[in-house]
Chain A
């Protein structure tokens, strides 16, 4: 944490954004020139339900400091129920990750609609600050075996 404060370390945050809501929200934030930390690496997915928990674990393995999965608000899914299915999956995954000692703030979830550009910027600012407090990810990161 101190190291993070002293240096100009910026976390790398992988964001899985659903094509229909959160990705469009991020796009709107861009065209509206709303400022938010440049810590995110966006991966566009068709639906939050497309995000296999394995994607999240692989991101952690490959050194992501934080992960955000964002989709449409409940009831607004382009595929009607994709985000409901995702919600069940991720509630189990979040509990499991916390149980095995992965910090809760590393892997976060949000609902952001296509119109909520300001909200998108807020969510990114929040998760960036949370992850900055935690410092660089170490647990689960794949290290070379000699």
Chain B
């Protein structure tokens, strides 16, 4: 991991020296031992802050639509797919963007670590090739990284960046044998009542903080319809129905665009099962329109286009 951090710093140094970037978006160590946090490097003297490890979980593509100028961005598989998605929607000035791609072995789930530490406080963490050694007052624990990955990382099919200008490290092996829709399929087997109960539980948890929207690279609208009060598209009460409508529309707005980076899930303070919605739509889009989000920059977003022989069975005619 130290090697990769070093390689990133060298690549960024070169970009600054060649005047290819004014801003580099990457990761630095957070204030807590297990955390990494996005950092914005505007000065060549600051490049030593950049790090890379298995906690660099944020999707940095979210900052691309909020910053202007010549930007360099550290992008793992899902970040690069989000960038491709933004390119499809003409949100990116590709000529002024340098993508520093980095193959990703998956990010570790902070909540899964908390669970295995059982309320012990981590004070120091060391990352080896496939394990984390966590030390604290009177304990030392070794956790295997592949056991504590985020759910979306466990079913990730694009660990290597799909687009990059500079590649850091060596490509990693893709998980070709996992079924990314296993969770959705299991849900589809359940009865309508069970699915409704799950939906109600998710709605009841939600506090409408909109962190999921803010973390999403695809929620870049200048004014979100959820915030609008004139006209007021969305009910703003705490009624369950209003929250449910918000969740349905939030997932619908990223239909065919969501790359399952998991940013919304990680941002959620209430553990709402957001992939319950996202993955279902992703599966339908894949099956009905043979479209996979964030792969081909030239492809049209599936809901912006049509075929005359699209799926029609659900319509009476």
Contact = CB atoms under 8 A, between A and B. Distances in A.
A142 B242 contact: yes
Contacts of A85: 303, 306
B281 A96 contact: yes
A58 B314 contact: no
B152 to A, nearest CB: 18
B302 A96 contact: no
A111 B187 CA distance: 31
A23 interface: no
Nearest to B288: A91
A126 B316 contact: yes
Contacts, number: 120
A145 B192 CA distance: 25
B281 A101 contact: no
Contacts of B118: none
Given A75-B308, A88-B302, A100-B196, A123 B252 contact: no
Contact of B241 (A75, A87, A92, A141): A141
A61 B199 CA distance: 15
A120 B277 CA distance: 33
B40 interface: no
B193 interface: yes
A144 B288 CA distance: 38
B197 A89 contact: no
B251 A101 contact: no
Interface stretch (A10-18, A26-34, A35-43, A102-110): A102-110
B106 to A, nearest CB: 27
Contacts of B310: 84, 87-88, 91
A100 B277 contact: yes
A93 B314 CA distance: 11
Given A87-B315, A145-B238, A96 B248 contact: yes
Given A88-B306, A91-B288, A99 B195 contact: yes
Given A100-B196, A101-B197, A92 B255 contact: yes
B316 A139 contact: no
Interface residues of B, number: 49
Contacts of B239: 142-145
Nearest to A94: B314
B65 to A, nearest CB: 23
Given A57-B249, A74-B312, A95-B280, A143 B255 contact: no
Residue among B241, B245, B255 with the most chain A CB within 10 A?
A: B241
Interface string A103-134: 10000111100000000000100100000000
A140 B306 contact: no
Nearest to B184: A99
Contacts of A111: 315-317
A60 B198 CA distance: 19
Contacts of B249: 53-54, 57
A70 to B, nearest CB: 8
Given A101-B192, A101-B193, A87 B306 contact: yes
B281 A92 contact: yes
A20 interface: no
A111 B18 CA distance: 59
A54 B255 CA distance: 14
B248 A57 contact: yes
Interface string B160-196: 0000000000000000000000001001100011111
The 7 closest A-B pairs by CB, nearest first: A101-B196, A84-B306, A110-B316, A142-B241, A101-B195, A100-B199, A111-B317
14 contacts: A58-B245, A61-B242, A88-B289, A88-B302, A88-B305, A88-B310, A91-B284, A94-B314, A96-B248, A96-B252, A96-B281, A99-B195, A101-B194, A144-B239
